[in-house]
Structure 1
Amino acid sequence: MADILTLVFRKFMSQPGLKKSSAADPPPPTDCGSTLLVGDHSISRSVMLLAAVTAASDLGVRVMFFTQTPIQSLPVSLQTCVPSLNPESLKKIKFSYPRTVEELLQQVASLHESMSPLPPSLIVVDRLETFLCAPGRHPGEQSCAAHLSALLCDTAAFFTEVLQQQSSSSAPCRVLVSFQSDSGPVGGLSSATDPVLDVLDRYFQVRCSLDQDRGYDAAAAGLQELWHVYLSGTGVTDDKDCEDRLGVAQEWQLSVFPSGLLEFRPV
């Protein structure tokens, strides 16, 4: 999944002189199929939607997007970043709105029943904490998080086999989940203090952490917000030397302009 995120970062990259990915230059398939996006839900949802739209439009793959909050229209930031979206590509994204974690588990478990003509190549779960920490639930978020994470990873592995058997260029199937931790900023390589986050890190090969820069740099640059984006985990590789750079964190900056424009810059 880190390959699709990297495609998103490069597609909306602000630094001149660097190669931007396009539909003709998709990331090579990898076995790193699970990514946990950790950060404030306001910016993480924009990144999740960018990933879903990029996967559907640039890679031409089917996307399954689970969220509790109905999406009536694309955010202004996404409309600004992708002004010429093909309506046909958006049809490749299917949105589902389970209300509880039990409904989410049931819907993920039954995905194989509706995978004609091809299963999804990207499964997205938006704001996992809203499912795990719903009002009235008894303490049990850790075991529930483990159960759901295992089901997502197993489902993606099954779909990857199906896609590969059909000689589909859509393989592998990836998983992207967002989670807002109660423990505050958890970017870079700092250790997590959230017990649920500890559980999730065992299942997801890549963590993408979004930490807001609340200094003066954003205002000085005329930005609405400035974010630091960290990629870390066993699924992160460096394009120049994939074998020797496993587990190395990668850092980007995400600039949010008053107009809603999102731009990424490698650090």
Structure 2
Amino acid sequence: MSQTSAGKEISLNGACNTLVVGDREISRSVLLLAAVTSASEMGIKVVFFTQSQIQSLPVSLQRCVPNLGPESLKKIKFSYPRTLEELLLQVASLHESAHTPPTPPSLVIVDRLENFLRGPGAGSSSGFHPGEQSGAAHVSALLSDTAAFLTGVLERRGSGSGPCRLIASCLSEEDASATDSTLDVLDRYFPARCTLDRDRGREAAAAGAQEVWHVYLSGRGVTEDRRDDGAAVVQEWQLSISTDGLMEFKLA
């Protein structure tokens, strides 16, 4: 999903799993925008896993997605597992529900995967527990297997809403070494990475927006444009957030 002046779209290879890395607040906004856009404009079902209760969607999303209505919101199922074990069980249950109507989800989103990888009660600067890498591999493998399984179900049913895609966010913390080792594991299962980098310089002020973010796509799952000399062209967008929360994407 993108809104650009040149009409360029994000290009991913097949049913590509995507990992979002960046600030916690903007990452959740981007994930919610992906969910409501998929449900309202593409008409597909979405499962959104998060530890934080979502009482209501931000008003700004209604401006970003004008045709957002009750029927579209019904296509999004919010689930609130508290621990990694609960997340694993709820993801595994998607296999069982796929055998019965209605149509299974075509998009699975996990908000702040790093919170599930920490021990209970860990704060934002506490780092990861010793089994964080094995936990990251376990949940990522299950998520990838589930997305592939649901893709097969969707294709057999001929629903036209497949393949099933997977998006998760894992955000940097103070313990950079632990975070980097975890991201190395996650990269094996998420071929595409979306990095959100806030612009705190003159460009943000010149844009007249409350916040300006650079959005970079990288990884083996991204179809790269190349210059005449064969060098890869970095896929980059600029995300501007106005004072009323409206999010707008354009080519950087």
Range into which the TM-score falls when normalised by the shorter chain: 0.7 to 0.9
The change in CA–CA distance for 1:77 and 1:184 in structure 2 (over 3 A counts) is: farther
Residue equivalent to 1:188: none
Residue equivalent to 1:61: 44
- How does 1:64-143 map onto structure 2 within 5 Å? 64-115=47-98, 116-134=101-119, 135=121, 138-143=129-134
Rounded Cα–Cα distance in structure 2 between residues aligned with 1:183 and 1:87: 40
State the TM-score, normalizing by the size of structure 1. 0.82
Query: Which digits, 9 at most, give the CA deviation of each residue in 1:176-206, with x for residues without a partner?
Result: 0011022699xxxxxx971101111111010
Counterpart residue type for residue 206 of structure 2:
A
Residue equivalent to 2:2: 9
- CA shift at 1:56, angstroms? 0.9
- CA shift at 1:249, angstroms? 3.6
Q: 1:203 aligns with which of 185, 189, 196?
A: 189
Residue equivalent to 1:52: 35
Residue equivalent to 2:16: 33
Residue equivalent to 1:220: 206
- Count residues with an aligned counterpart: 241
Rounded Cα–Cα distance in structure 1 between residues aligned with 2:43 and 2:111: 21
CA contact (8 A) 1:35 1:175 kept: yes
- CA shift at 1:80, angstroms? 2.6
Residue equivalent to 2:142: 151
Deviates more, 1:224-233 or 1:28-37: 28-37
- CA shift at 1:220, angstroms? 2.8
Query: Which digits, 9 at most, give the CA deviation of each residue in 1:134-185, with x for residues without a partner?
Result: 4367411111000000000000001111111112211100100011022699
Q: 1:260 aligns with which of 245, 248, 251?
A: 245
Rounded Cα–Cα distance in structure 2 between residues aligned with 1:262 and 1:127: 20
Deviates more, 1:37-46 or 1:71-80: 71-80
CA contact (8 A) 2:15 2:164 kept: no
Q: For residue 188 of structure 2, give the secondary structure of its aligned residue in structure 1.
A: helix
Rounded Cα–Cα distance in structure 2 between residues aligned with 1:220 and 1:259: 18
Q: For residue 81 of structure 2, give the secondary structure of its aligned residue in structure 1.
A: coil
Rounded Cα–Cα distance in structure 1 between residues aligned with 2:212 and 2:11: 29
The change in CA–CA distance for 1:172 and 1:73 in structure 2 (over 3 A counts) is: same
Rounded Cα–Cα distance in structure 2 between residues aligned with 1:29 and 1:171: 14
Rounded Cα–Cα distance in structure 2 between residues aligned with 1:248 and 1:156: 29
Q: For residue 194 of structure 1, give the secondary structure of its aligned residue in structure 2.
A: helix
- CA shift at 1:109, angstroms? 0.7
Q: CA RMSD in A?
A: 2.7
Rounded Cα–Cα distance in structure 2 between residues aligned with 1:184 and 1:138: 11
Query: Which digits, 9 at most, give the CA deviation of each residue in 1:188-237, with x for residues without a partner?
Result: xxxx9711011111110100000001112212322111100000111111
CA contact (8 A) 2:40 2:67 kept: no
- CA shift at 1:76, angstroms? 3.2
Counterpart residue type for residue 9 of structure 1:
S
Rounded Cα–Cα distance in structure 1 between residues aligned with 2:212 and 2:81: 32
Q: For residue 46 of structure 1, give the secondary structure of its aligned residue in structure 2.
A: helix
Counterpart residue type for residue 2 of structure 2:
F
Residue equivalent to 2:125: none
Long gaps (5+) in structure 1: 1-7, 22-26, 186-191
Rounded Cα–Cα distance in structure 2 between residues aligned with 1:183 and 1:250: 28
CA contact (8 A) 1:233 1:249 kept: no
CA contact (8 A) 2:13 2:223 kept: no
Query: Which digits, 9 at most, give the CA deviation of each residue in 1:19-73, with x for residues without a partner?
Result: 388xxxxx99952320000001100111101111111111111100000001111
Q: For residue 124 of structure 1, give the secondary structure of its aligned residue in structure 2.
A: strand
Q: For residue 203 of structure 1, give the secondary structure of its aligned residue in structure 2.
A: coil
Residue equivalent to 2:151: 160
Residue equivalent to 1:3: none
Where does structure 1 differ by over 4 angstroms across 4 or more consecutive aligned residues?
A: 27-30
